[in-house]
Amino acid sequence: MDIHAIFNTLPHRYPFLMVDRILEIEPGRRAVGIKNVTINEPYFTGHWPGEPVMPGVLIVEAMAQVAGMFLLAGTQVGDQQAFLGGIDKVRFRRQVVPGDQLIIEAELIKRRGSIGKVQTVAKVGDEIACQGELTFALVAADSETSA
């Protein structure tokens, strides 16, 4: 899936869209996406001057966006949105810096009704940068939410 398919699935836009491409998607099983990390991203100005490091919360957001794409695969475009509802067992293993490419894997742990739990891993090359379990609520796109 290219950026146009991502735009059609996720509501995120610059500067908060954290997925550049979906490489693989197996509805109901798993997905793999890419986040290209560049020095041009606005958060590097202050995190940290002289030694830019991608904030951990944004790595988790990138994992959540790939997981959301995965959970929405097979649904009609625009019918549902995936809202992050929980973050468990997240561990950071290495820094992510400009020039890195995050390969993000999302694999279904379980799904019950409109709730889905996904195991996510973000890697740079063969090294794990971050991993954790994310829980989502899938809601109708026209629902009123207070997220």
101 in helix, strand or coil? strand
Question: Which of 12, 21, 30, 47 is labelled catalytic?
Answer: 47
Residue 147 is predicted with a pLDDT of 45
Q: Which amino acid is at 124?
A: V
- Strand stretches in the chain, DSSP E: 21-26, 30-36, 80-92, 101-112, 115-124, 127-140
What is the per-residue pLDDT across 22-52, written as a single tens digit (0 to 9) for each?
Answer: 999 999 999 999 999 999 999 999 999 899 9
> In degrees rounded to 5, what are phi and psi of residue 43?
-70, -20
pTM: 0.93
Residues 6+ apart with CB under 8 A from 22: 1, 5, 6, 31, 32, 33, 34, 66, 69
Which domains are assigned to the chain? 3-140 (3.10.129.10)
pLDDT tens-digit series, residues 72-128: 997 776 789 999 999 999 999 999 999 999 999 999 999 999 999 999 999 999 999
Give residues with Cβ within 8 angstroms of 49, minimum separation 6.
none
Res 146 pLDDT > 80: no
Question: Which residues contact residue 131 at a Cβ distance below 8 angstroms, ignoring those fewer than 6 apart?
Answer: 89, 90, 91, 93, 119, 120, 121, 122
Asked if 47 is an active-site residue, the reply is yes
Neighbours of 147 (CB within 10 A): 8
